[in-house]
Amino acid sequence: MRTRFAPSPTGFLHVGGLRTALFAWLIARQTKGRFLLRIEDTDQIRSVEGAVENILSTLHWAGIDPDEGVMMRKGIMAQEGTKGPYIQSQRLELYQKYAEQLLQNGHAYACFCTAERLTQMREGQMARKQAPMYDRLCTRLPKKEMEERLARGDPHVIRLLVPHERVFTFTDKIRGEVTFQGHTVDDQVLLKSDGFPTYHLAHVVDDHLMEIDLVIRGEEWLSSTPKHLLLFERLGWTPPKYAHVPLLLNKDRTKLSKRQQSVAAEEYIGKGYLPEALMNFLALLGWNPGSEQEIFSLAELTEAFSLERVQKAGAIFDLTKLDWLQGQWIRRLPLAEFADRLQMLTAERYPEAAHDAHFSEKAALIHERVTFLEEGPDMLAFFYVEPKVSVELLANAKQKVTKELLTTILKLLTDTLGKIPADAWTTDTLKEKLLAQAKKQDLSQGQILWPLRAALTGLPYSPGAFEVAVALGKKTTLARLEGARAVLE
């Protein structure tokens, strides 16, 4: 299947847009088809510089690069494929040609109504509690007057003539059979007075010429679909299939909004979410696999995804779930990759981390504990800066480590560890020797491990004492224990 993502370059890429792109990409992958990227920039006032590059880099980050259309090639924006151009502002003549054809065939008409008149009309309709729609004043213009005004070049738009008696029924891949009454469908503007098409005309022309088989787009376009189907019919073309994906909702079931949370994909990238986590999360917004499985890579999604399992109801954007998935995906990163990424981040704060040959052993200690890579440098700080240790931290009522006992415990630690040769400095040996010694002196495991960990890290929470001691090495371990003893005195 040929599917497409057709964003308007009006700023950031909305997470809902990214989900739509993902669904379209998945269907193309599943069917060994093609995923196109088309830029819908016919609203020139709303187009924003740099927005296309941002869309492309976000898709690339997400792992769903387009196969055809607008794409990045060696860092430069390019267009690839035989059905281009893929940027609507470069296709204006095509839209004008088809608008003209519709006009000639009587399926569209010129409308000269001014913005003021349309506003007045709309206000009147709203006051009468009618749905606002064009009242067709211009269809009643005498033919001669119409022609004169066109010849004079009076500003006008081209509108689609919708047969009011028609009933539009179509099958949406997500919503099933959908019906709209013709008299509720507005005579849509197809071509604006500046010669630019509206979305409605432009995307129909493009979806046809670009041979799109399936249109996946947001639910907000569902009610416009009758106009689009009518356009396909009037132009003598076969329409694609449609799938309208459900809205994204805030927790309180209102439409996902900037006021309640970030809606720009780039904000999630900036916050340090992994692409795997965000895409896994977006896939589950509206789609369910019909099984207990929750973790899906793009490859697994390609296997499992189906539009039939996408719900009609809005999907709640639950950040708790996203963070959970993020944690899952961080842990799934192979240690080497996790360590590499973390080493770069850590070196920004502690430059010596850049040359630390044992960095990956340190990273391994926190792999299970971080949700965001950004938390890593703080957790590893004690490896690179001398920890601040206090008596309050070394003692611990819960572990029955009283201040009075601390001198004995720290001595035990220093003496026992001091006797372990550097080449036997492993967690197993440390554990064996320390626990044996503790037992001899009638101390519990907690009573020796808490002060050891606290002395080595200066933190109330950290990876386990043996692992930290091994990662620090014998020399530093003993030095830090000395430091703790000095604090006691």
- The residues annotated as belonging to the active site are 258
Per-residue x/- mask for ligand GLU, residues 333 to 372, rule CB under 6 A? ----------------------------------------
Per-residue x/- mask for ligand GLU, residues 445 to 474, rule CB under 6 A? ------------------------------
- Shortest Cβ 150–ligand GLU spacing (Å): 30
Q: How far apart are CA 255 and CA 133, in angstroms?
A: 25
- Shortest Cβ 217–ligand GLU spacing (Å): 3
* Binding residue count for ligand GLU, defined by CB under 6 A: 9
Q: Which residues contact 252 (CB under 8 A, 6 or more apart)?
A: 260
7, 197, 239, 376: which one contacts ligand GLU (CB under 6 A)? 7
Question: Do residues 20 and 35 touch, judged by C-beta distance below 8 A?
Answer: no
- Residue 129's Cα: distance from chain center in Å? 40
Question: Do residues 286 and 69 touch, judged by C-beta distance below 8 A?
Answer: no
Q: 280-306 burial, b for 16+ CB within 10 Å, e for fewer?
A: bbbbbbbbebeeeeeebebeebeebbe
Q: How far apart are CA 414 and CA 479, in angstroms?
A: 9
Kindly tell me which of 215 and 468 has the beta carbon lying closer to ligand GLU: 215
2, 3, 6, 212: which one contacts ligand GLU (CB under 6 A)? 6
- Shortest Cβ 214–ligand GLU spacing (Å): 11
244 scored as a contact of ligand GLU (CB under 6 A)? no
Kindly tell me which of 16 and 387 has the beta carbon lying closer to ligand GLU: 16
Kindly tell me which of 83 and 149 has the beta carbon lying closer to ligand GLU: 83
Stretch that binds ligand GLU, among 5-13, 54-62, 231-239, 420-428 (CB under 6 A): 5-13
- Shortest Cβ 4–ligand GLU spacing (Å): 7
Footprint of ligand GLU on 210-229 (CB under 6 A): 215, 217, 221
197 scored as a contact of ligand GLU (CB under 6 A)? no
- Shortest Cβ 238–ligand GLU spacing (Å): 17
Return the number of other C-beta atoms located less than 10 Å from residue 466's C-beta.
19
Beta-strand pair 157-160/108-111: antiparallel
- Shortest Cβ 7–ligand GLU spacing (Å): 5
The C-alpha R_g of the chain, in whole angstroms, comes to 32
- Shortest Cβ 319–ligand GLU spacing (Å): 24
If you count them, how many residues does the chain have?
489
Per-residue x/- mask for ligand GLU, residues 24 to 53, rule CB under 6 A? ----------------x-------------
Kindly tell me which of 51 and 298 has the beta carbon lying closer to ligand GLU: 51
Stretch that binds ligand GLU, among 2-10, 396-404, 422-430, 464-472 (CB under 6 A): 2-10
Kindly tell me which of 282 and 325 has the beta carbon lying closer to ligand GLU: 282
Kindly tell me which of 6 and 264 has the beta carbon lying closer to ligand GLU: 6
Kindly tell me which of 234 and 244 has the beta carbon lying closer to ligand GLU: 244
Q: Which residues contact 470 (CB under 8 A, 6 or more apart)?
A: 361, 425, 426, 427, 430
- Shortest Cβ 328–ligand GLU spacing (Å): 31
- Residue 405's Cα: distance from chain center in Å? 53
Kindly tell me which of 20 and 477 has the beta carbon lying closer to ligand GLU: 20
Closest CA to 160 of 238, 243, 233, 221: 233
22 scored as a contact of ligand GLU (CB under 6 A)? no
2, 159, 203, 474: which one contacts ligand GLU (CB under 6 A)? 203
Stretch that binds ligand GLU, among 4-12, 103-111, 141-149, 436-444 (CB under 6 A): 4-12
Q: How far apart are CA 214 and CA 485, in angstroms?
A: 72
Give the residues lining the site for ligand GLU (CB under 6 A).
6-8, 40, 199, 203, 215, 217, 221
